[in-house]
Structure 1
Amino acid sequence: MRHDPPLPAGTPLPLPRAPLPGPVEAPVPLDATAIAEFNDLLHELHPDAPHLDHDAVASVAQWLQSLPQPQADALLQARLGRLAELQAMAADPDWAIEPALGKRIRRLVAYVDRERDLIPDDVPRIGRLDDALLVELAWPMVAEELEDYRDFQRFREESGAGFGGHPRREDWLRTRLEEGALWEQLHRVRHQHYVDYGPLEGGLRVV
C-alpha cells in the first residue's frame, strides 16, 4: 500500500503529478540554472523527492497568485513557520541529532534565508513560494525525527526531575523501550492463563 509522504502543514501544494500538456507561463522569470540548483539541493536533502521543472513551479505560482493575499500568506507561513521547530531540535544539546541530519537542516535553513534564489523573496505574493516548496518536499527527511523529538519534549517535561532536570536522548529511548517491554508483558498476561490444567475429563458431575 502506498502512503502519502508526511507534510509540514495541511494539504500539499498543488504540484502537477504528471507533465503538463503545454508550456505554462510563469508570473516571474524562472532561470533554468536556478531550477537545476534547486533540484540539486532538494535531492541532496531528500533523494526520493520529485523533480520540479519550469512548468510545475509556474503552475503553482499561478495558483498562489490567484488566491487572496491573506490566504496565500497563510499557506506559505504554515510551511516556513515549521523551520523554527527544526532549528530548536537541531540546537537542543539534550537531543543530539545525527551530524548528517543537522547538516541537511542547516542547508535547508540557509536556502530559505537567501533573498535571491529561484524566486527572489521580494517578488509580491510568490516570493517565498520556492522556500515553501523546498520545506514541503524535503519534509520527509525530518518528519520522523521531529515526531520523536516532540515525544522527547513531553518526556522531559514529565520526567526531567528524575534525570537532574536534563534527560538526554538515550534516557528517553531507554525509558520508552522499557515501557514498550512492560506493555508487551501485560498484553501477554491478559491473554493467557497462569496455570493450564488441561481439558476436563469425564465432564461435570452434579451431586
Structure 2
Amino acid sequence: MRHDAPLPAGTALPLPRTPRHDGRPGDSPVPLAPAAIAEFNDLLHELHPDAPHVDEDALASVARWLVALPPAQGDALLQARLGRLKELSELAADRDWAIEPALAKRIGRLLDYVTRERDLIPDDTPRLGQLDDALLVELAWPMVAEELEDYRDFCRFREESGDGFGGHPTRDDWLRARLEEGALWEQLHRVRHQRYVDYGPLEGGLRVV
C-alpha cells in the first residue's frame, strides 16, 4: 500500500513496492534498459531523497496496467499528473514569489526530464511514452506539494491586495500579512472566551435594601 504522501492527482499509480517472489521481472510491454532505469532513479532521489526505488519489475507492472486500460482513460490518468507542471512552471518563474535556489534547481531538473523525448520510455512510444514522465512527477511531488499550496494562497493574496504593494507583493509581504491575520484570529478567540473585567469573588453576599 502506498504511504500517505502528497499526490498530484486523486489516486496513486499502482506501482508495486516489493519485487517478485521468484526474483525475475515480469514481461514488459516496452523495453526497459537497466542503465536508463538507474538514471531515472538517480534523478528521482535527487529530486526527492525519500522516494522509493523503482525497479524493472515495478515499471513493467504499471506499464501492463496502463496498456490494459481503455486508451482515453489511460491518457487522462497521465495528463492528470503532467497537467500539474504548468502551475509548477509558473511558480518557478514568478519573481514575486522568489523560491529558494535549491528548489528552483530541482524543479528545473524535473521539467527538463519531462520535456526530453528520449528518456526511460521514449515519448513516441504508443500508449506508454509519457508513463515515466508522469511517474516521476508523482513520486517527486512531495518535494513541491507544500510550496505549491503556499503559492496558491500567495496568488489569492496578490489578487485580493489589488494595487497594494504596487501590484507586486512579495513573498515576505504575503507571509507578514498571513501572520498578522493569524495573530488577530488568536486575539479574537481569546476575547470570546474571557471576561473583559474580573471583579473577583463577591464578599458578604448580596444585600437587598
Aligned to 2:68: 66
Aligned to 2:165: 163
Letter in 2 for 1:42: L
Q: Distance in 1 between matches of 2:162 and 2:3?
A: 35
Aligned to 1:14: 14
Q: Distance in 1 between matches of 2:125 and 2:203?
A: 86
Q: Percent identity?
A: 81
* Cα gap change, 1:205 to 1:25, in 2 (>3 Å): farther
C-alpha RMSD of matched pairs (Å): 1.6
Q: Distance in 1 between matches of 2:78 and 2:158?
A: 31
Match of 1:164, SS? helix
Match 1:143 to one of 145, 159, 162: 145
Deviation of 1:202 (Å): 4.8
The residue correspondences of 1:81-120 to structure 2 (distance < 5 A) are: 81-120=83-122
* Cα gap change, 1:160 to 1:171, in 2 (>3 Å): farther
Q: Distance in 2 between matches of 1:76 and 1:24?
A: 22
* Cα gap change, 1:17 to 1:199, in 2 (>3 Å): farther
Deviations 1:48-75 (A, max 9, x none): 1011000001100000000000000000
Return the TM-score normalized by structure 2. Answer: 0.94
Moved more, 179-188 or 21-30: 21-30
Q: Distance in 2 between matches of 1:76 and 1:114?
A: 16
Aligned to 2:186: 184
Q: Distance in 1 between matches of 2:65 and 2:159?
A: 42
Aligned to 1:154: 156
Aligned residue-pair number: 206
Could you list the runs of 5+ residues in structure 1 that have no partner in the other structure?
Answer: none
Match of 1:50, SS? coil
Aligned to 2:125: 123
Match of 1:13, SS? coil
Moved more, 36-45 or 14-23: 14-23
Moved more, 50-59 or 192-201: 192-201
The residue correspondences of 1:15-54 to structure 2 (distance < 5 A) are: 15-22=15-22, 23-54=25-56
Q: Distance in 2 between matches of 1:145 and 1:20?
A: 36
Deviations 1:68-109 (A, max 9, x none): 000000000000111111001100111101111000000001
Match of 2:167, SS? coil
Q: Distance in 2 between matches of 1:3 and 1:162?
A: 42
Q: Distance in 2 between matches of 1:6 and 1:71?
A: 22
Match of 1:74, SS? helix
Deviation of 1:17 (Å): 3.0
Aligned to 2:196: 194
Could you list the runs of 5+ residues in structure 2 that have no partner in the other structure?
Answer: none
Q: Is the 8 A contact 1:160 1:167 kept in 2?
A: no
Return the TM-score normalized by structure 1. Answer: 0.95
Q: Distance in 2 between matches of 1:94 and 1:31?
A: 42
